[in-house]
A and B are shown apart, each in its own frame.
Chain A
Amino acid sequence: MKRIYLDHAATTAVDREVVQTMIPYFAETFGNASSLHSFGRDAMHALGAARQTVADALGAETGEIFFTSGGTESDNLALKGVETGHIITSLIEHPAILNTCRYLENHGCDVTYLPVDSGGLVDPGNIESAIRNDTKIISIMHANNEIGTIQPIAEIGTIARDNGVLFHTDAVQSFGKTETDLQKMNIDMLSLSSHKIYGPKGVGALYVRDGTEIEPLMHGGGHESGLRSGTENVAGIVGFAKAASLAIERFESDTRHLTNLREMLINGVMDTIDDVHLNGHPTKRLPNNVNLRFDFVEGEAMLLHLDLRGIAVSTGSACSSASKDPSHVLLAIGLAPENIHGSIRFTLGRENTSEDIEYVLGVLPEIVGKLRAISPLVSKGSSRGSSSG
């Protein structure tokens, strides 16, 4: 059966070129980068080159790049590593930020969770007014993983700078898909994850602007200039660096390709299915994100039908043992729980083609029609189905 992967915000396949780049670092150049012999030096040189590559990809200095185990660790390090006080964040952050904030609230920090508008945008004015004397850090994600909304990062960075507050951004989803400029955006710390950019899982980085005071989470042998102890994952880091350089190299063609597919999918669905709504912002949106709400149908049922046709997507909620926790992001943009249940996220990737989108557009109306035909929420007598005018 044809299999089409449209869940790139969850993870991506490792690029073949990245795999090739990594292979020598398992059995040949396997040394511990801290060892003084030639094996260790080879690993150290690989690590140094990777750090240079990631620094170049971000427009940073090598001393500002700290390798971690991924986005979650980078987010934790950024928040927990800064001395306690008041934190400003948003209601639509990834759980790596939100749950870290909850933890910090239990450890003496005060956190302000800012709302977003119906498109998912934070109002920079709200940030300005939330700043207090003891505000230490503002953490606002660059682009949201569920609805793809791109925040006014440059404005927020300026506000942070003008008020002498640190600015952290989670760029896990945005890197390689929308421009990031550490200087123009006044970013002090930035989280990256390799597996969202066609690199291996379990590796990422935190950019920390030179001069920023930050404490480690991991104490040990003093790796990563003491900020992150633990023998470095050399193969993973080399792969991550290769993936980051490819993301920069292919930025123009990737974003053009993804935007074309995104528009094709959104317009195609809107043209063939009634009662569908686009969740998120119409324009300030990642080029690969399509989050659609189908009235009268439930997300998991749609996901199952799509999976049976070989199409992989995500939904805004799923029944689990205790609850069907509706997505906190969709709640924050003002959706009612019953609407959230019918939301499906399609996230496109480099390897997707217009044939893939045509295939999806071919099967979707039938699936939605089938589920609406058995849905008690479709009002009696109405013929809401798959077709439209």
Chain B
Amino acid sequence: MIGIAIEYTEKVMDHFMNPRNVGEIPDADGAGTVGNQVCGDVTNVYIKVTDGRISDVKFKTFGCGAAIATASMTTELALGKTLQEGLAITRDAVADALDGLPESKLHCSNLAADALHAAIKEYMAKN
């Protein structure tokens, strides 16, 4: 059994407690689902695209504090960006925007950026 031995930054805790852009977009222009086989965390990202920019973005996450906070931050970073800018959002950028993530949590922070990229690529493939 595991208690809590993880120290999250204030920003991570803020996004964990008050996640931004939670939800689904039923008529999304692109959607991406990424699950981590190892730890079981899953993140879905949905985007709407208007004039080549991400005009709306929503997420849902089943996962730990880091998975939830990185998904929330990823959607904040992605909103209003061009598709190319969206594809350039890396997990490092997300981790930096959160003032860092514990070393042991780096793999959970992959999910959100990967799901965003998958959503953008799905849109690009269709258009």
Contacts and interface: CB of A to CB of B under 8 A. Distances in A.
B125 interface: no
A27 interface: no
A319 B68 contact: no
Given A319-B66, A324-B39, A373-B22, A304 B3 contact: no
Given A314-B3, A374-B68, A376-B33, A323 B60 contact: no
A319 B1 contact: no
B1 A9 contact: yes
Nearest to B23: A374
Contact of A327 (B1, B67, B104): B1
Contact of B4 (A307, A321, A327, A341): A307
B124 interface: no
Contact of A297 (B4, B16, B62, B67): B62
A216 B36 CA distance: 45
Contact of A315 (B1, B59, B62, B105): B1
Contact of A376 (B3, B44, B66): B44
Contacts of B66: 319
Contacts of A297: 62
B64 A338 contact: no
Interface SS majority for chain A = loop
A319 B33 contact: no
Given A314-B1, A319-B105, A376 B19 contact: no
Contact of B64 (A318, A323, A375): A318
B42 A315 contact: no
Given A7-B3, A297-B62, A345-B1, A319 B43 contact: no
Contacts of A374: 19, 22, 59-61, 68
A301 interface: yes
B17 interface: yes
B48 to A, nearest CB: 18
Contacts of B107: 319, 321
A323 B39 contact: yes
Given A146-B1, A345-B1, A319 B64 contact: yes
Contact of B38 (A7, A323, A375): A323
Contacts of B41: 298, 319, 324
A240 interface: no
18 contacts: A296-B62, A300-B4, A301-B64, A304-B64, A313-B3, A314-B1, A319-B107, A323-B39, A324-B39, A326-B40, A327-B1, A338-B40, A374-B61, A376-B43, A376-B44, A376-B61, A376-B62, A377-B62
Interface of B: 1-4, 6, 13, 16-17, 19, 22, 24, 33, 38-44, 59-68, 103-108
